[in-house]
Homo-oligomer: A and B are copies of this chain.
Amino acid sequence: MYSVQHIVETALKEDIGPGDITTNNLVGPDRRGKGEIVAKESLLLAGLDVAKQVFVCLDPKIHFYSQYKDGNTLKDGDVALRIEGRVRDLLAGERTALNFLQHLSGIATHVRSYCDMLEGRNVRLVDTRKTTPGWLVLEKYAVRVGGAYNHRMGLYDGVLVKENHITICGGVKKAIEYIRKNVSHLAKIEVEVSDMDGVKEAIAAGAEVIMLSGMNAEQIKAAVDFVDGRAVIEASGRIKKENLMALADSGVDIISVGELTQTARWVDMTMRVSAS
A contacts, CB < 8 Å to B: 2-3, 6-11, 13-23, 25-27, 31, 33, 87, 91-92, 94-96, 98-100, 102-103, 124, 126, 129-137, 149-162, 164-165, 167-169, 175, 178-179, 182-188, 190, 209, 232, 234, 253-254, 262-263, 265-266, 272-275
Contacts and interface: CB of A to CB of B under 8 A. Distances in A.
Q: What secondary structure prevails in chain A residues at the interface with B?
A: mixed
Contacts of A190: 186
Given A20-B156, A99-B132, A132-B135, 15 more contacts: A7-B134, A10-B133, A10-B134, A11-B134, A14-B133, A14-B154, A18-B153, A25-B183, A26-B168, A96-B133, A149-B185, A151-B186, A152-B184, A152-B186, A262-B265
A192 to B, nearest CB: 11
Contact of A21 (B156, B162, B167, B175): B156
A185 B185 contact: no
B133 A99 contact: yes
A133 B187 contact: no
Identical chains in the assembly: 6
Contacts of A179: 22, 25-26
Given A7-B134, A161-B26, A169-B26, A153 B155 contact: no
Contact of A158 (B186, B234, B263): B186
Contacts of A266: 130, 262-263
B17 A154 contact: yes
A168 B7 contact: no
A124 B181 CA distance: 10
A133 B168 contact: no
Contacts of A92: 155
Given A26-B175, A165-B27, A273-B168, A13 B2 contact: yes
A174 to B, nearest CB: 9
Q: Among A6, A25, A131, A160, which residue has the most Cβ atoms of chain B within 10 A?
A: A25
A254 B185 contact: yes
